[in-house]
Amino acid sequence: MPRVAFLGLGAIGAPMARHLARPDVDLALWNRTTATAAALAGELGVRHALTPADAARGADVVITCLPVSRHVEALLDGPDGLLATMAAGAVLVDCTSGDSATSRRMAERLAERGIGFLDAPVSGGVVGAQQGALTVMVGGDEAVLERVHPVLACFGKRIVHCGAVGAGDALKAVNNALLAMHLWGTAEGLVALEKAGVKAELALDVINASSGRSNASMNLFPERVLTRAFPRTFRLALLDKDVGIAAELAREQQVPSPLLQLTAELFRMAHLELGEAADHVEVVQVVERLGGAQIGGRSA
């Protein structure tokens, strides 16, 4: 029975952790806000750890899912840090959508103690996490991935080895930068169409049967924008972080990337304007305000 510790029970972490509460897994949960971990552990009948060290001691696999890599790195140090408490041979699987440089640094430091590291960001959103159908993009040693594969398969449907440590982070950031471009670009187009007298519902029907379609046009706009529901499932602050990582990757690789850099700029501004709690789809409201029309109806 693998002993698994799951650290970080946020919007995506909590539904991921739920899939690990099975008779063949010995699971411990930790979250910065203790009440969250206590409630979920109580509901699932698993162990609630009061500190990361308490969760990680004796674990074969420690899974982290925090906003940014530096939050995970901060858990490594000190007498109660993961470096001091994880056993040689154990593996830290970081499901944070992180940055490659920090992941490489963490992998090196853990390797000095004989601890494995994989960057393993996920995609599929909260619904994918609830369904146990996430895509997991893994960077690191393939043999280490083989060992932890059965654990990742509890919440991941597609587990893809992307390359060396940091490769999963890089791919995830580019994927999310494309999501950001589709969101913003589709919003601009639909606001312009509304003002030109073409209704967004009709426009989306046509676009979704044509070459301009995307996950944004097929799912996010019909379900969240036309309905004006704007549920909060994935914070804009986190998408801003992802686009920033992708823009930085392109600069590091000396790839001319005006579109990535502009998208990073736009999402930084929208994040500043809308704040920490806003959902990523709420950027559509910024475009609506600037353009003076609401997608799916009345003037903004």
To the nearest whole angstrom, how small is the minimum distance from the Cβ of residue 195 to ligand NDP?
Answer: 31
Q: Which is nearer to ligand NDP, 34 or 227 (CB)?
A: 34
To the nearest whole angstrom, how small is the minimum distance from the Cβ of residue 103 to ligand NDP?
Answer: 12
Residue in 117, 100, 101 with CA at minimum distance from that of residue 109? 117
Q: Which is nearer to ligand NDP, 84 or 192 (CB)?
A: 84
To the nearest whole angstrom, how small is the minimum distance from the Cβ of residue 70 to ligand NDP?
Answer: 8
To the nearest whole angstrom, how small is the minimum distance from the Cβ of residue 137 to ligand NDP?
Answer: 10
Which residues neighbour 290 within 8 Å (Cβ) at sequence distance 6 or greater?
none
**Angstrom distance (rounded) from CA 161 to CA 168:** 8
Q: Which is nearer to ligand NDP, 37 or 191 (CB)?
A: 37
Q: Which is nearer to ligand NDP, 235 or 271 (CB)?
A: 235
Give the three-class secondary structure for 70: helix
**Angstrom distance (rounded) from CA 254 to CA 276:** 31
Contact 139, 165 (CB under 8 A): yes
Which residues neighbour 29 within 8 Å (Cβ) at sequence distance 6 or greater?
5, 6, 9, 17, 37, 40, 41, 44, 46, 47, 48, 49, 55
Backbone angles phi, psi at 89, to 5 degrees: 95, -15
Q: Which is nearer to ligand NDP, 73 or 194 (CB)?
A: 73
Taking CB positions, which residue lies at the least distance from ligand NDP?
10
| Beta strands 134-139; 122-123: pairing state | antiparallel
**Angstrom distance (rounded) from CA 41 to CA 35:** 10
Does 241 participate in catalysis according to the annotation?
Answer: no
To the nearest whole angstrom, how small is the minimum distance from the Cβ of residue 5 to ligand NDP?
Answer: 14
Binding footprint of ligand NDP on the chain (CB under 6 A)? 8-13, 31-33, 36, 65-67, 71, 96-97, 122-123, 125-126, 233-235, 238
**172, 195, 199, 241: the active-site residue:** 172
Backbone angles phi, psi at 293, to 5 degrees: -150, 150
**Angstrom distance (rounded) from CA 172 to CA 84:** 30
Contact 244, 201 (CB under 8 A): no
Q: Which is nearer to ligand NDP, 56 or 193 (CB)?
A: 56
To the nearest whole angstrom, how small is the minimum distance from the Cβ of residue 31 to ligand NDP?
Answer: 5
The tally of CA atoms less than 13 A away on the side-chain side of residue 114 is: 7
Catalytic positions are 172
